[in-house]
Amino acid sequence: MADTPPKRFILFHHPKVAESLALAQEIVTHLESQGLSAEYCSIDDEAARARAGAADMLIALGGDGTMLRTGRVGAFNNRPVFGINLGRLGFIVEVQPDSWREAIERVMCGDYRTEERMMLHALHCQDGSTLRSYEALNEVVVSRGVVVRPIRLQTTVDGAPLTTYVADGLIIATPTGSTAYALAAGGPVLPPESKNFLLVPISPHLSLDRPIVLPPDATVEVFVRTEHEAVFSIDGQTSRPLQDRDSLRVHISRHVAQFVRLTPHTHFYKNLADRMAQNPTANKAK
Q: Give the model confidence (pLDDT) of 168-217 as tens digits.
A: 999 999 999 999 999 999 999 999 999 999 999 999 999 899 999 999 99
64 catalytic? Reply is yes
Contact 155, 195 (CB under 8 A): no
Out of 44, 45, 64, 111, which one is annotated catalytic? 64
Same domain for 232 and 204 = yes
Domain count, the chain: 2
Same domain for 242 and 199 = yes
Same domain for 251 and 151 = yes
Same domain for 33 and 124 = no
Same domain for 212 and 88 = no
Same domain for 207 and 170 = yes
d(C-alpha 216, C-alpha 160), whole Å: 16
Note down the domain range covering 267.
Answer: 8-112+262-277
**pLDDT number for residue 2:** 65
Same domain for 167 and 241 = yes
Tell me whether residue 23 is in a domain. yes
**pLDDT number for residue 94:** 84
Tell me whether residue 2 is in a domain. no
Q: Give the model confidence (pLDDT) of 119-168 as tens digits.
A: 999 999 999 899 999 999 999 999 998 888 999 999 999 999 999 999 99
pLDDT at residue 286 greater than cutoff 70: no
CATH code for the domain of 221: 2.60.200.30
**pLDDT number for residue 18:** 80
This prediction has a pTM of: 0.90
Q: What's the mean pLDDT in 12-31?
A: 92
Any idea which of 149-163, 227-241, 267-281 has the lowest mean pLDDT?
A: 267-281
Same domain for 237 and 140 = yes
Tell me whether residue 13 is in a domain. yes
CATH code for the domain of 30: 3.40.50.10330
Q: Could you tell me which residue, 144 or 1, shows the higher pLDDT?
A: 144
Share of the chain above pLDDT 90, in %: 76
Q: Could you tell me the strand order of the sheet in which 169-173 lies?
A: 212-214, 197-202, 169-173, 139-144, 230-234, 240-242
Same domain for 75 and 107 = yes
d(C-alpha 188, C-alpha 197), whole Å: 10
Tell me whether residue 40 is in a domain. yes
